[in-house]
Chains A and B, each alone.
Chain A
């Protein structure tokens, strides 16, 4: 990276926003984040030394032998002063302590669903519904998974009509990009114009 020597104070203030990527174990969170992120970093959180062997449910996931014990973290530079971060939130129950912290101040979330194990994403859907955090459900199109109609999936998930439901190939950047666009569009659609004008003016530090 060739940066000109700079006076940090003269740089435009960097604004960071975050989007959470949730879903059950093995739903494709790591794949999705790496398909769109400009970097491939991993974040670790400390109490993660416990081996997950024998603890994670691998039924129906023939190729999944490891769990992501670190946080997937992706970065999309929108402009010099605006960066979007994606955080894959670990789906296993023992990592739930991290969710509130990550969800705090998040723009919204993408819940990745695997039609072979749809119930795995119920906790994520419930979480975001309860927190009133905008989210979409993206059905990850695994090659060997059966195909269902989106209406059937919506019914099975008992998903509100105003929650976007999209098909997604987590390996494809274009597909992931479309899912994120749907999420941001739906956040904007739920944003009354007056509220946004007000929100912008307030700069309360935290």
Chain B
């Protein structure tokens, strides 16, 4: 029987790094211009849902304002997507995605879809829907 985590693509085996993808060669926060805090100060939850705004300046190609990473993120939120989805889809660290997303939100190119307050427990109707979904797997 395989060891518990042998199914995961190895991060390191036989003493060498074998990354799933070779990843960017620049340091992660280079793509944010060294910024580590979102421009608007709001730290988006990992499951906050964002979506690109129609007509929201998506074609802005000025490299001063819109980097290739901004555009990749914008492409991923043409449909509603969570911060986690975007981080996984771009291969960028969560912190970097938050910074770049805040730029897009501030410039009106994307918006956060407000959810129920995360502090509240979900109602039983939501839990029932989740149970039904899990049982159907």
Q: How far apart are the CA atoms of A30 and B61 in the complex, in Å?
A: 39
| Known pairs A30-B8, A180-B134, A206-B117; A7 contacts B125 (CB<8 A) | no
* Pairwise interchain contact B96-A16, C-beta atoms closer than 8 A: no
Contact at A17–B7, with CB atoms within 8 Å? no
Interface residues on B, range: 35 or more
Contact of B79 among A8, A41, A63 (CB under 8 A): A8
Instruction: Count contacts between A and B, CB distance < 8 Å.
Output: 202
Does A139 lie at the interface of the complex (its beta carbon under 8 Å from any beta carbon of B)? no
A191 contacts the other chain (Cβ, under 8 Å)? yes
For A172, what are the chain B residues with a Cβ–Cβ distance below 8 Å? none
CA distance A28 to B127 in the complex (A): 26
Chain B residue with Cβ nearest A72: B8
| Cα distance, A179 to B126, chains bound together (Å) | 18
Bound Cα distance A185, B134 (Å): 11
What distance in Å separates the Cβ of A92 from its nearest Cβ neighbour in chain B? Answer: 15
B84 contacts across to A, CB distance below 8 A: 43, 73, 85, 87
Q: Note all chain A residues with C-beta closer than 8 A to B10.
A: 66
Name which of A101-109, A120-128, A152-160 contacts chain B.
A101-109
Q: Evaluate whether A199 and B133 lie within 8 angstroms (CB atoms) in the complex, with A14-B49, A30-B8 already known.
A: no
Given that A13-B80, A68-B5 are contacting pairs, would A181 and B134 also be in contact in the complex, using a CB cutoff of 8 Å? yes
Selected contact of B54 from candidates A8, A13, A15, CB within 8 Å: A8
Q: Is the CB of B87 within 8 A of A43?
A: yes
* B59 contacts partner chain A, Cβ-Cβ < 8 Å: no
How far is A203 from B121 in the complex, measured between Cα atoms in Å? 12
A66, B12: Cβ atoms closer than 8 Å? yes
- How many A residues touch B, CB cutoff 8 Å? 76
Q: A42 — which chain B residues lie within 8 A by C-beta?
A: 20, 88
Residue of A nearest to B123 (CB): A196
Which residues on the B side are within 8 Å of A16 (C-beta)? 47-49, 82, 115
Task: Collect the chain B residues with CB atoms within 8 Å of residue A105's CB.
Answer: 45, 47, 118-119
CA distance A198 to B20 in the complex (A): 45
Q: Of the candidates A13, A69, A76, which one forms a contact with B11 in the assembled complex, judged by CB atoms under 8 Å apart?
A: A69
Q: Which residues of B contact A203 (CB under 8 A)?
A: 114-117
Q: Confirm or deny: B46 has a beta carbon within 8 angstroms of a beta carbon on chain A.
A: yes
* Residue of B4, B43, B130 touching A78 (CB-CB under 8 A): B130
Instruction: Please name 23 pairs of A and B residues whose Cβ atoms are closer than 8 Å in the assembled complex, sorted by A.
Output: A8-B80, A13-B113, A17-B122, A26-B5, A28-B5, A41-B88, A43-B87, A43-B94, A45-B93, A62-B3, A63-B4, A66-B11, A66-B12, A73-B88, A78-B130, A78-B134, A85-B47, A85-B84, A107-B127, A173-B137, A191-B121, A191-B127, A196-B122
- Identify the 5 closest CB pairs spanning chains A and B, nearest first: A105-B118, A63-B3, A78-B133, A41-B88, A196-B123
